[in-house]
Amino acid sequence: MRKSILSLVLCLGVTGIVLAQSGGVQINAGGATFPNPIYSKWFNEYNKMHPNIQINYQSQGSGFGKAQLVARSIDFGASDGPMTDDELSKAGFKILHFPTVMGADVPSYNIPGVNATLKFTQKALAGIYLGTITKWNDGELTKANPGVKLPAEDIIVVHRSDSSGTSYIWTDFLSKANSEWKSKVGTGTTVNWPVGLGGKGNEGVMGTVKQQPYSIGYVELIYAIQNHEPFGDVQNLDGVFVTASLEGVSAAAAGAAKSMPDDFRVSITNAPGKTSYPISSFTWLLIPAKITDASKRDAIKGFLKWMLLDGQKDCEALSFARLPTQVIAKETKAIDQIQ
Amino acid sequence: MGTVSTTAAPAPAPSRVQVFLRRVRNGDEIAHVVTMIFGASILLVTAALVYELWIQSAQSRAKFGWSFFVTSTWDPINGIFGAWPYIYGTLVTTTVALVIAVPLGLGAAIFLSELAPPKVSSSLSFVIDLLAAVPSVIYGVLAVFLLEPVMRTTIQPFLKHTLGILPIFKELFKGPAYGFGYLTAGIVLSIMTVPFIISVSREVLMAVPQDQREASLGLGATRWETTFKIVVGYARTGILGSIFLSMARALGETMAVTMVIGNVAKVSSSLFAPGYSIAAVIANEFADATSELHLSSLVELGLVLFLLTFILNGLARVMIIATSRRGAGASQR
């Protein structure tokens, strides 16, 4: 009796292992959390069209994506910030960047008694996050918001406590907008914030801002839209106060598309253009230039082509901005670089 | 006298090999080896843990040395890492948690073991054991939505206006009432550790022999003198053990702390100020560590936490041994 149960279990086990390995291409990927909603949708749709190709994406952060790609434990990675020259040279093999979608950061605030949409100048945001502007009725804020009665209360600043692409975009913008920020703090997914409370994830920042009166925090545009959170307008490079929207983000990318470098590593924060939203950014897929496994290579190239032509239509529904046509054209050509 | 035996001669004494083989067939030897492997594997896992922590933190240990423990800056962009704010935050929140949880837990345990009717005692203990099993992230969520607003609007201003007038407390309760900070994190930790203290202390107190109490009362001690001097005194080592067990939990608690401590890597003497703890920063920054030095520093923080827990548990052992020796000596007199 015992022997027959044991042999049955063994047979089932072997069958299971065999079935799991039969046929199909299994691709492992991982990285940025910001585009996870649309990546999940794309990989799922692509698998429905090509049932033998399965792409497994682990949304563990841009740092994870970069590190694991260099360690070659995933087939391709994803990152909200492009890899630096230093990181690329340390990798040991050539890595190509492919922008997929764009997103933006917005400043969300909670001031009891103030329901109007506030306008923030670049100096104001930098000052608030540096800790030099401490009260809501500071001249820099009242100047840009005539007609709004701002209270004489301390500003409670909120930032991200975890490493994040959202922080990368925000700090990149502040570095461009303010030289003091650039020298004192810099750009990164985790920085030495001069002031402020830390919240974990977009939810953490949003929750803290909602709980603390007279506070301000930055969250992703997608998050603010889908959760119906109010946010302020930001002044762009041309001096216009722009309300964050998918159109504003696309305008920023189109402005930068003219001078897009061949490797697609470009920052589009503070982009020129009257309608450009200044705190926008691409997010990239990191693909090795040389893929030895032919089936994986063809699957990845096929996915990229589909994503650029067909996948982009899924963007609006999930509140991501699609790539400008010039960038799509350039990328389609660049796919041939994957050997 | 002589027994009639059908065998020709007594069988020769079995050799050692034959004994061994018989034991293997019976399963004795296998059981011995298997359980020995299980026991050794615990030690091996611990050794492997320490080894990995040591190796992975090599880069930051080489770069910062002992200054890692006293530096307050944590700057991933410029590559400067210091552990002091995190060590301070961990110690402060654990201290606050114990200061609240120990009197509360011990008092509740004494009530449940000495004073409450048996039915009340057993049903309450059942509920307390359930509390001990609640996942810590649930406590964190409750803390953010229930505790933090209450702290910010009611408790912190109250403390400031009452105790905050006295000299030492003035310093402890300085600054604006954010709701997030060392005090809130300490309170959440105390809520999480109180069930452990209550359930273990209650067991230990109930295990004190009844004749100890009777002897004490017979000699003329009051109910309270009996309870505090004799019963608690007898159960001292078990109670200390439960306190150190809950301290170990408080030191390593991650999610509940990071949700209410404010996540600010600065040292402040005020309990109202936001801070950071070792477990919280590792949880927040590990997955996305931007550089090798950053990762190495986080691993070194993990090593620091491990050593902290190890040292405090070691002190616990020493204290238990010291008190039990004294206790045993006293009872022999």
User: What range does the domain containing B25 cover?
Assistant: 16-56
Residue A22 has pLDDT above 80, yes or no: no
Q: What is the Cα–Cα distance from A29 to A60, expressed in whole angstroms?
A: 10
Residues B266 and B162 in one domain: yes
Q: Quick one: pLDDT at residue B333?
A: 39
Summary count for chain B: helices (H), strands (E): 17, 2
Got the DSSP string for B127-170?
HHHHHHHS-HHHHHHHIIIIIHHHIIIIIHHHHHHTGGGSHHHH
Q: Quick one: pLDDT at residue B328?
A: 44
Residues B24 and B144 in one domain: no
| A58 CA: distance to closest CA in chain B (Å) | 12
Q: Is residue B65 part of a domain?
A: no
CB contact under 8 A, B290 and A61: no
Residues B110 and B161 in one domain: yes
CB contact under 8 A, B263 and A61: no
Q: Give Cα B86 distance to the centre of its chain.
A: 18
Q: Quick one: pLDDT at residue B6?
A: 57
Residues B215 and B322 in one domain: yes
Task: Please tell me which residue of chain B has the smallest CA distance to A65.
Answer: B288
Q: What is the Cα–Cα distance from A308 to A285, expressed in whole angstroms?
A: 12
Q: What is the Cα–Cα distance from B304 to B278, expressed in whole angstroms?
A: 9
Q: Give Cα A222 distance to the centre of its chain.
A: 10
Q: How confident is the model at residue A227 (pLDDT cuts 50, 70, 90)?
A: confident
pTM of the model: 0.79
Residues B117 and B259 in one domain: yes
Residues B165 and B26 in one domain: no
Residue B182 has pLDDT above 80, yes or no: yes
CATH number at residue B313: 1.10.3720.10
| B64 CA: distance to closest CA in chain A (Å) | 18
Token readout for A112 is 């009891």
Strands A280-288 and A197-199: unpaired
Residues B143 and B239 in one domain: yes
Q: Give Cα B192 distance to the centre of its chain.
A: 11
Which of A172-186, A239-253, B1-15, B26-40 is predicted with the least confidence, judged by mean pLDDT?
B1-15
Q: Is residue B206 part of a domain?
A: yes
Got the DSSP string for B8-74?
SSPPPPPPHHHHHHHHHHHTHHHHHHHHHHHHHHHHHHHHHHHHHHHHHTHHHHHHHGGGGGT---E
| A258 CA: distance to closest CA in chain B (Å) | 30
Residues B321 and B199 in one domain: yes
Q: Is residue B78 part of a domain?
A: no
User: How much is the average pLDDT of B106-131?
Assistant: 90
Burial B302-317 (b: 16+ CB within 10 A, else e): bbbbbebbeeeeeebe
Which of A18-32, A65-79, B129-143 is predicted with the least confidence, judged by mean pLDDT?
A18-32
Which residue out of B290, B293, B301 would a mutagenesis test of the A interface target, given it has the greatest number of A Cβ atoms within 10 Å?
B290
Residue A3 has pLDDT above 80, yes or no: no
Q: How confident is the model at residue B324 (pLDDT cuts 50, 70, 90)?
A: low
Domain count, chain B: 2
- Cα angle B134, B140, B146; round to 5: 105
Q: What is the Cα–Cα distance from A304 to A253, expressed in whole angstroms?
A: 19
Residue B210 has pLDDT above 80, yes or no: yes
Residues B160 and B218 in one domain: yes
Task: Please tell me which residue of chain A has the smallest CA distance to B72.
Answer: A192
Q: Is residue B218 part of a domain?
A: yes
Q: Quick one: pLDDT at residue A13?
A: 73
CB contact under 8 A, B284 and A162: yes
Q: What is the Cα–Cα distance from A267 to A173, expressed in whole angstroms?
A: 9
| B131 CA: distance to closest CA in chain A (Å) | 25
Q: Is residue B204 part of a domain?
A: yes
| A322 CA: distance to closest CA in chain B (Å) | 26
CB contact under 8 A, A196 and B264: yes
* Residue among B148, B274, B289 whose CB faces A163 most closely: B289
Q: Quick one: pLDDT at residue A20?
A: 56
Considering chain A, what is the average pLDDT of its residues?
88
CB contact under 8 A, A200 and B149: no
Residue B3 has pLDDT above 60, yes or no: no
Q: What is the Cα–Cα distance from A26 to A31, expressed in whole angstroms?
A: 17
Residues of B with CB under 8 A from a CB of A: 73-78, 144, 148-149, 152, 176, 178-180, 258-259, 262-265, 274, 276, 280, 284-285, 287-290, 294
Residues B50 and B130 in one domain: no
Q: Is residue B196 part of a domain?
A: yes
Residues B50 and B193 in one domain: no
Give contacts of A71 with chain B, Cβ < 8 Å: none
Q: Is residue B77 part of a domain?
A: no
Residues B91 and B210 in one domain: yes
Q: Is residue B45 part of a domain?
A: yes
Give the rounded percent of residues in chain B with a pLDDT score beyond 90: 41
Q: Quick one: pLDDT at residue B330?
A: 44
